């Protein structure tokens, strides 16, 4: 799209250049069709106006992330945008949905870590910076949501980074669809095998070329299959066109396949086993002087490849067979031949060749003589006999190479099949994502780097993919036009179908003619070339070079390519020599024999000829069929330079790759329609100056754009729903008109400035002349005055001298007297002043002291009075309330109220009459006032008419003046046919909408019914869970009862054997019981009862069975009562949770901490777990956080572990019977309780047993869990607000136009206020529930850390956020957060404000005006000391300012940052610029214990509900 409008002097344009592709410059002269351009490089060129492209003067210097946003979508604009972003290490750029990846030739690990994958997970396409993860995520989301298979096509020339991009895509898909191996660690997941298949295939399919150190010499299509939940369930790998000739023929400075060099550098035992040595000793490797790669250790790569084979599923025996075959191929290459004894025969050249022949036979596990015969002889089978033909040395070498190539090809195919079978495919999978890593279009001056036929197949592939790509791009254009509801029916589609027919048409195509030539034994490449010349001599895409007889040229979409036909016939033949097939199929090695299975009789009788071209065409057709049923996504990889070094961007090289990659073809398709697409607000902002009047009024942006375009007179544009679509050249025309308007405005400004300067100079000159005249006149007058003054002065001197002599004597006398008087008076005055100051200071002190004492007395009196009044009023009010309640019960009170109401009605009636009379008086006053106002109104109308007449006169004068200026008349065009057509379509759409609304209503009803059903089922499930909990509790109680019954039965059986009561009692006392059960189901250790002295237990304490059962039942009732009480919200006492205190007191009284077995702890844990099921209610969670943390504090202070084994045994507690301890607690006399009460402590040290310690651990886990729930709930509330707070609301120049609908609902700070409200709400909730301050502080500290991470990462990932205005917006929000921290006080906020250090420093840098004057040391030491070099570089390169045009830092600072980043590039940690979120638990039990005090619990009152129960009277102690 060249410039189609007239260019004026000063216009910025792009000019084509032979060296740099395109140069930017300024038009300095216009001569008809030719213009003179002064380039920025200093060169001046003269070109035709049709050969230049307009340049966008307002394009951001750092480029745009999506090139569809460019004002001018053409070659130089695209190239400059890529170069600008590459200079800033922004290697990824969008072109719509197409991702262009420029190889940086350096490691950028921070772009591909797990944290970066988490950022792109679920993000909308285009929301974050361009990245392969965004493409993979978009494909994954489309597959899940639309249930449509996806494909990602990665293409580019060798060295462009296709393989690395494919690895990144597969890593992300494995990250999204991966699952942990639930079956066990030995079970390898599908995603692991898919990822580890890459190094295996790279080892055997990649090699160093001139353009790339790790070039894939085959095409690869990876199908990753997914199940219904989006998890990877299977995969398959398909390969295309392995470069077999590289096995035998390598040109300098390239290398053979990596596996050969890895095997030569293998461990010593493997090298000896395969009889290998240095790579320089093998013919297939020493054809090139390149043996090693920089930064690659072949021995480590060998070990890594073996490990990858293990993960993929290749057994050790199979690995042995694989490398046995690779070693055999190397030995084959070292076999040389010489002439034999017979004519045209051959044999191994020397002993060295014999050794390699023998070694190859050993590795293949075949007969040495048979191997030699298969290389040196051919067997020709005729109808009558079998003829053995000897081969000359050259033919034998060709046979050797053919064997090596076919063996390696079969080995590679076996690897692919093995990987596919090991990974497995999911037959039930409905969706897949295919990743295509395919070679890009390549054209060489001499076809030495690739064999001609293989390059021909590669270019055929790219032609087919380009056709698919064109159709996709055209489809996207159609979808956008349809979405925007514009007319696109007249847009032509560029197709390359004629080239594809030229190559693959059957019959008559190049491939068909090549297959035909290969089937005839006497055909040569000359006859094949002549056949092509005759067949396609009139084809516009086919031509014959002038200086060659066998070459031909095809005009591809990316340019003309000349092919040499010398090896076309040999490379197209794909068959296995019968002797080679028979030899290797009979191998004793099962692996080698498996590579060459025996052919069936039918296949052996058929023709042995098969065509690589035909087979490749079938594979390509199958690939296209797969792609046609998937939704494609494209990644175009670009190599910036041929030196393979970073920071070098070769314009011509990149431009050629863009053309070969189809990017320019996509641009041409876009230019055929509407290449410029501008949102309404941007369009009005940019071109509103062409017609300022369209911005006046209350119309919206759409109407403003229509009026503006009609005003300027453009034709052929389209107005969509959200954008303005302009044809090619119209953007340049609008910019030219805009430049004219700006030029005229500049001329007016210059005229005004020059006028002002001239007037100021004239006024200054006039003032100077006046001042000179005044000075001259003054000088003359001063001279006359001087003479007159001298005469007067003489007389005055005489008079004054006489006077002086007389006064001198008088003054001397007077001065002496005055000096004495002055000294005396000064002394007296100073004494008086000193006294007054002291007096005044004393008075002030006395007044302030009296004032303070009086105010203090008054405040105390006032406070006491208010307290007394409040108490008295409360008492009076309560008394009155009681009276009213009593009176309400009596009928007499009702009658009195009725009489009172009747009196009130009469009083209101009297007031109503009085008000009516007052209204009548007011109406009369209003009538008089209205008469006065009407007279004043008439006077105002007369003045308005006079003003209107003056205004009409002025408008008439303005119209006469305007008629003298030429005006461009507007021509309205109304297409009635189109209007009728649109009306009809509108009616159809209305009917369609009505039918859709009916369907929506029906669907809504079904949805509501389903929703009700699901709610009922959910309710039933919750009820079932509650029943399960109740049943578990009942089961525990039954188990305990059962154990007690067993112990009682044992005692009864023993009692039945005794006769006398005394013996019975003695036997009961001496019989070893089961573990005695204490109160509330606790079981005492057997040792306690066994070691007690018998005499310590009186006989009267032996209890009957009925008493024991009654007390047992009472214990369970007590536990149930406790659980029922504390499961409710029983509030707080003295700022402490009542439930925690009550639980602790009960456990302490029941001595549960000392029990060996008990169920009360399990009951409490179940109760807490069921209580916190509703995790969304922060109030409820805060209540339980307060209770559990307080209970944990009490346990921490009370419980002590069991003493060491060597410590002296402590005195045992007095023995009791089955429920002795409970009896002692209940039967203690009141007097003893009163005596012991003063000595009781709130928190007592108890030696805890295992159940108590386990309960403490479980309670600690619940405290941490509830803390995490409260913290995460706050994060969930803040997450959507933070995404809105990072970017300021958009404003534009036409603010008045959109003031009513831009963001009137929400002020810019409303999102920050919402965050403050969330923080305040949670803080109030935590305070109301008396959560320990240390937990509150940790919650808000981690929340502010989360805010810092989210805001800072969004700032670094979204370029639109790194602006000056956005920095001011975020800074104002951070100021509100700082104010909140100050108001919340340090007790609760803690170091929350310090957690925002990253975003504070980043925002502080954004709002600096003169960034270009700041040095790197000032940035790192003063402004942003906490930020890393990578983070600073990211901010500096992303920064832009469209409002104030402030610049970023200087290029020297950017260069310094690059140097430091290069030095740290090997450190993956330092290279990461994103922050990680900390979700750990930041406190310990000791921190919680240190924050609370035991004395705080002395005045806590237990639950009132339990105090009413006689069993819990101990709570009052």
Question: Does 215 participate in catalysis according to the annotation?
Answer: yes
Cα dihedral across residues 1089, 1090, 1096, 1100: positive or negative: positive
The answer to whether the CB of 247 falls within 8 A of the CB of 408 is: yes
The answer to whether the CB of 275 falls within 8 A of the CB of 359 is: yes
CA–CA dist 1162, 1464 (Å, integer): 55
The answer to whether the CB of 224 falls within 8 A of the CB of 434 is: yes
Catalytic residue among 212, 334, 345, 1186: 212
Question: Does 216 participate in catalysis according to the annotation?
Answer: yes
Please report the DSSP string for 435-484 in residue order: EEEEEPP---SSTTSS-HHHHHHHHHHHHHHHHHHHHHHHHHHHHHHHHH
Catalytic residue among 11, 81, 89, 163: 163
How far are the Cα atoms of 217, 313, 428 from residue 422, in angstroms, in the given order? 23, 6, 18
Ramachandran class of 174: left when φ > 0, alpha when ψ lies in -120 to 50, beta otherwise: alpha
Catalytic residue among 223, 301, 442, 480: 442
Tell the burial category of 1198 from Cβ atoms under 10 Å away from its Cβ (0-12, 13-18, 19+). Answer: buried
The answer to whether the CB of 365 falls within 8 A of the CB of 587 is: yes
Phi, then psi, of 72 in degrees rounded to 5: -120, 110
Extract the runs of DSSP E, i.e. beta strands, from 1175-1287. Answer: 1199-1200, 1246-1247
* Residue of 140, 122, 139, 120 lying closest to 131 (CA atoms): 120
Catalytic residue among 63, 156, 159, 219: 159
HSE (side-chain half, CA atoms, 13 Å) at 500: 14
Q: Residue 1493, SS3?
A: coil
CA–CA dist 412, 237 (Å, integer): 12
Q: Which two tokens stand for residue 95?
A: 């072109």
Cis peptide, bond prior to residue 507, ω within 30 of zero: yes
User: Using a CB cutoff of 8 Å and minimum separation of 24, what contacts does 1307-1311 make?
Assistant: 1308/1369, 1308/1372, 1309/1372, 1309/1373, 1309/1376, 1311/1281, 1311/1284, 1311/1285, 1311/1373
Question: Does 831 participate in catalysis according to the annotation?
Answer: no
The answer to whether the CB of 390 falls within 8 A of the CB of 376 is: yes
Matching residue, tokens 């005090």: 1493
Question: Does 527 participate in catalysis according to the annotation?
Answer: no
* Residue of 84, 207, 371, 18 lying closest to 1454 (CA atoms): 84
Catalytic residue among 158, 1080, 1178, 1366: 158
How far are the Cα atoms of 1308, 1311, 1322, 1379, 1473 from residue 1372, in angstroms, in the given order? 10, 12, 22, 11, 25
Catalytic residue among 215, 239, 451, 651: 215
If residue 216 lies in a helix (H) or strand (E), which one and from where to where?
strand 215-216
Question: Does 212 participate in catalysis according to the annotation?
Answer: yes
Question: Does 701 participate in catalysis according to the annotation?
Answer: no
Please report the DSSP string for 1430-1454 in residue order: HHHHHHHHH---SSS----S-HHHH
Catalytic residue among 219, 440, 688, 729: 440
- Residue 10's CB is within 10 A of a number of other CB atoms, namely 11
Cis peptide, bond prior to residue 253, ω within 30 of zero: yes
The answer to whether the CB of 1269 falls within 8 A of the CB of 1172 is: yes
If residue 1365 lies in a helix (H) or strand (E), which one and from where to where?
helix 1364-1389
Question: Does 1174 participate in catalysis according to the annotation?
Answer: no
Extract the runs of DSSP E, i.e. beta strands, from 316-401. Answer: 337-339, 346-348, 377-381, 386-390
Question: Does 442 participate in catalysis according to the annotation?
Answer: yes
Catalytic residue among 165, 198, 209, 216: 216
Query: Taking the mean position of all CA atoms in its chain, how far away is CA 1236?
Result: 65
CA–CA dist 980, 1389 (Å, integer): 68
Residues catalogued as catalytic: 158-159, 163, 212, 215-216, 440, 442
């Amino acid at each position: 799209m060249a410039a189609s409008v007239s260019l004026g002097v000063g216009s910025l344009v792009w000019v084509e250049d032979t060296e740099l592709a395109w140069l930017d410059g300024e038009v300095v002269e216009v001569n008809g069709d030719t213009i003179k351009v002064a380039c920025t490089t200093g060169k001046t060129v003269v070109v035709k106006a049709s050969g230049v492209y307009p340049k966008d003067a307002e394009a951001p210097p750092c480029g745009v992330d999506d090139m569809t946003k460019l004002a001018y979508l053409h070659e130089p604009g695209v190239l400059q945008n890529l170069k600008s972003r590459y200079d800033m290490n922004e290697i990824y750029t969008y072109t719509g949905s197409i991702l262009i990846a420029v190889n940086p030739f350096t490691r950028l690990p921070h772009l591909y870590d797990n944290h970066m994958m988490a950022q792109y997970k679920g993000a909308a396409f285009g929301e974050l910076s361009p990245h392969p993860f965004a493409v993979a995520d978009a494909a994954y989301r489309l597959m899940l949501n639309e249930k449509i298979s996806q494909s990602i096509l990665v293409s580019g020339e060798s060295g462009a980074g296709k393989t690395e991009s494919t690895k990144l895509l597969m890593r992300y898909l494995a990250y999204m669809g991966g699952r942990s191996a639930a079956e066990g660690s030995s079970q390898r997941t599908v995603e692991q095998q898919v990822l580890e298949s890459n190094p295996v295939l790279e080892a055997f399919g990649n090699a160093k070329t001139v353009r790339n150190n790790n070039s894939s010499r085959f095409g690869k299509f990876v199908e990753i299959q997914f199940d219904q939940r989006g998890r990877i369930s299977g995969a398959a790998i398909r390969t295309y066109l392995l470069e077999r000739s590289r096995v035998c023929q390598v040109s300098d400075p390239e290398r053979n396949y990596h596996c050969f060099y890895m095997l030569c550098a293998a461990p010593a035992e493997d090298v000896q086993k395969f009889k290998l040595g240095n790579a320089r000793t093998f013919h297939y490797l020493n054809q090139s002087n390149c043996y090693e790669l920089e930064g690659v250790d072949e021995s480590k790569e060998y070990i890594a490849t073996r490990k990858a084979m293990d993960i993929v599923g290749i057994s050790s025996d199979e690995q042995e067979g694989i490398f046995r075959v690779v070693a055999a191929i190397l030995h084959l290459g070292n076999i040389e031949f010489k002439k034999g004894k017979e004519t045209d025969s051959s044999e191994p050249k020397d002993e060295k060749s014999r050794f390699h022949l023998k070694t190859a036979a050993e590795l293949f596990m075949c007969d040495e003589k048979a191997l030699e015969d298969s290389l040196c002889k051919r067997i020709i089978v005729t109808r009558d006999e079998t003829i053995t033909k000897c081969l000359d040395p050259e033919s034998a070498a060709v046979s050797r190479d053919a064997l090596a190539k076919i063996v390696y090809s079969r080995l590679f195919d076996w690897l692919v099949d093995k990987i596919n079978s090991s990974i497995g495919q999911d037959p039930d999978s409905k969706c897949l994502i295919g990743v295509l890593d395919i070679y890009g279009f390549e054209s060489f001056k001499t076809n030495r780097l690739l064999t001609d036929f293989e390059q021909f197949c590669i270019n055929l592939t790219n032609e087919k993919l380009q056709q698919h790509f064109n159709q996709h791009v055209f489809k996207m254009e159609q979808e956008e036009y349809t979405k925007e509801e514009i007319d696109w029916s007249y847009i032509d589609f560029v197709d390359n179908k004629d080239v594809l027919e030229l190559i693959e048409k059957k019959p008559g195509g190049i491939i068909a003619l090549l297959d035909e030539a290969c089937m005839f034994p006497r055909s040569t490449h000359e006859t094949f070339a002549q056949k092509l010349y005759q067949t396609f001599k009139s084809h516009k895409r086919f031509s014959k070079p002038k200086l060659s007889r066998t070459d031909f040229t095809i005009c591809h979409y990316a340019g003309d390519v000349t092919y040499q036909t010398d090896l076309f016939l040999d490379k197209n033949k794909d068959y296995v020599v019968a002797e080679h097939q028979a030899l290797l199929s009979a191998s004793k090695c099962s692996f080698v024999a498996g590579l060459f299975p025996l052919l069936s009789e039918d296949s052996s009788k058929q023709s042995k000829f098969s065509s690589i071209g035909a087979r490749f065409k079938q594979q390509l057709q199958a690939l296209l069929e797969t792609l046609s049923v998937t939704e494609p996504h494209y990644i175009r990889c670009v190599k910036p330079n041929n030196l393979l070094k970073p920071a070098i961007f070769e314009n011509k090289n990149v431009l050629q790759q863009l053309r070969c990659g189809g990017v320019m073809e996509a641009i041409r398709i876009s230019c055929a329609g509407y290449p410029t697409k501008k949102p309404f607000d941007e369009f009005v902002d940019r071109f509103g100056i062409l017609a300022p009047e369209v911005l006046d009024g209350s119309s919206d942006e759409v109407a403003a754009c229509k009026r503006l375009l009609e005003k300027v007179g453009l034709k052929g544009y389209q107005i969509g729903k959200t954008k303005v679509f302009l044809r090619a050249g119209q953007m340049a025309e609008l910019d030219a008109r805009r430049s004219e308007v700006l030029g005229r405005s500049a001329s007016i400004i210059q005229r005004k400035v020059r006028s002002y300067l001239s007037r100021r100079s004239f006024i200054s000159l006039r003032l100077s002349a006046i001042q000179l005249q005044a000075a001259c006149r003054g000088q003359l007058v001063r001279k006359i005055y001087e003479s007159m003054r001298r005469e007067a002065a003489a007389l005055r001197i005489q008079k004054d001298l006489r006077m002086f002599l007389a006064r001198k004597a008088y003054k001397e006398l007077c001065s002496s007297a005055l000096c004495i008087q002055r000294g005396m008076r000064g002394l007296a005055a100073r004494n008086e002043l000193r006294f007054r100051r002291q007096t005044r200071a004393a008075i002030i002190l006395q007044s302030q002291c009296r004032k303070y004492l009086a105010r203090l007395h008054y405040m105390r009196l006032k406070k006491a009075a208010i307290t007394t009044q409040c108490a008295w009023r409360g008492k009076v009010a309560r008394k009155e309330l009681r009276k009213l309640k009593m009176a309400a019960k009596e009928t007499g009170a009702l009658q009195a109220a009725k009489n009172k109401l009747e009196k009130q009605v009469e009083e209101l009636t009297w007031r109503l009459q009085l008000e009516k009379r007052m209204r009548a008086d007011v109406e009369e006053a209003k009538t008089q006032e209205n008469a006065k106002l009407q007279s004043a109104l008439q006077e105002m109308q007369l003045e308005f008419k006079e003003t209107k007449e003056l205004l009409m006169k002025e408008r008439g004068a303005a119209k006469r003046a305007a008629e003298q200026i030429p005006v461009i008349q507007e021509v309205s065009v109304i297409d009635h046919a189109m209007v009728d057509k649109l009306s009809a379509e509108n009616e159809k759409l209305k009917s369609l909408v009505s039918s859709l609304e009916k369907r929506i209503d029906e669907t809504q009803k079904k949805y509501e019914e389903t929703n009700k059903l699901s709610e009922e089922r959910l309710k039933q499930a919750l009820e079932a869970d509650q029943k399960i909990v109740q049943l578990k509790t009942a089961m525990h109680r039954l188990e305990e009862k059962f154990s007690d019954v067993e112990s009682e039965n044992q005692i009864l059986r023993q009692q039945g054997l005794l006769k006398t009561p005394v013996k019975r009692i003695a036997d009961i006392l001496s019989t070893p019981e089961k573990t005695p059960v204490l109160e509330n189901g606790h079981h005492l250790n057997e040792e306690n009862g066994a070691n007690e002295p018998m005499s310590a237990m009186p006989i009267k304490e032996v209890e009957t069975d009925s008493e024991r059962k009654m007390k047992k039942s009472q214990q369970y009732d007590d536990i149930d009562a406790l659980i029922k009480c504390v499961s409710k919200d029983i509030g707080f006492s003295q700022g402490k949770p009542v439930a925690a205190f009550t639980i602790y007191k009960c456990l302490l009284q029941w001595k549960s901490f000392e029990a060996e077995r008990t169920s009360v702890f399990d009951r409490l844990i179940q109760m807490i777990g069921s209580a916190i099921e509703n995790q969304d209610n922060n109030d409820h969670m805060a209540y339980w956080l307060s209770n559990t943390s307080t209970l944990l504090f009490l346990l921490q202070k009370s419980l002590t572990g069991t003493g060491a084994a060597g410590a002296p045994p402590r005195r045992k507690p007095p023995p009791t019977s089955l429920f002795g301890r409970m009896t002692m607690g209940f039967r203690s006399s009141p007097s003893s309780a009163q005596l012991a009460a003063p000595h009781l402590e709130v928190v007592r040290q108890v030696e805890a047993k295992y159940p108590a310690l386990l309960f403490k651990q479980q309670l600690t886990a619940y405290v941490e869990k509830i803390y995490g729930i409260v913290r995460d709930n706050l994060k969930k509330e803040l997450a959507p607000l933070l995404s809105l707070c990072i970017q300021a609301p958009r404003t534009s120049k036409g603010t008045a136009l959109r003031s009513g609908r831009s963001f009137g609902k929400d002020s810019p700070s409303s999102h920050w206020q919402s965050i403050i409200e969330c923080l305040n709400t949670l803080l109030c909730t935590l305070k109301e529930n008396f959560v320990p301050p240390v937990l509150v502080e940790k919650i808000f500290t981690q929340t502010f850390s989360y805010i810092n991470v989210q805001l800072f990462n969004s700032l670094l990932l979204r370029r639109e956020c790194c602006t000056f205005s956005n920095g001011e917006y975020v800074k104002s929000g951070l100021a509100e957060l700082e104010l909140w921290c100050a108001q919340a006080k340090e007790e609760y906020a803690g170091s929350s404000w310090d957690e925002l250090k990253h975003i504070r420093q980043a925002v502080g840098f954004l709002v600096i005006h003169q960034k270009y004057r700041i040095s790197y040391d000032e940035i790192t030491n003063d402004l942003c000391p906490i930020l890393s070099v990578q983070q600073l570089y990211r901010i500096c390169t992303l920064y832009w300012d469209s409002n104030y045009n402030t610049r970023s830092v200087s290029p020297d600072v950017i260069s310094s940052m690059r140097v430091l980043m290069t030095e740290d590039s090997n450190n993956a940690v330092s290279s990461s610029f994103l922050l990680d979120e900390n979700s750990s638990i930041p406190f310990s039990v000791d921190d919680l214990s240190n924050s609370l005090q035991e004395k705080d619990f002395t005045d806590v009152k237990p639950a009132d509900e339990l105090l009413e129960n006689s069993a819990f009277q101990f709570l009052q102690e």
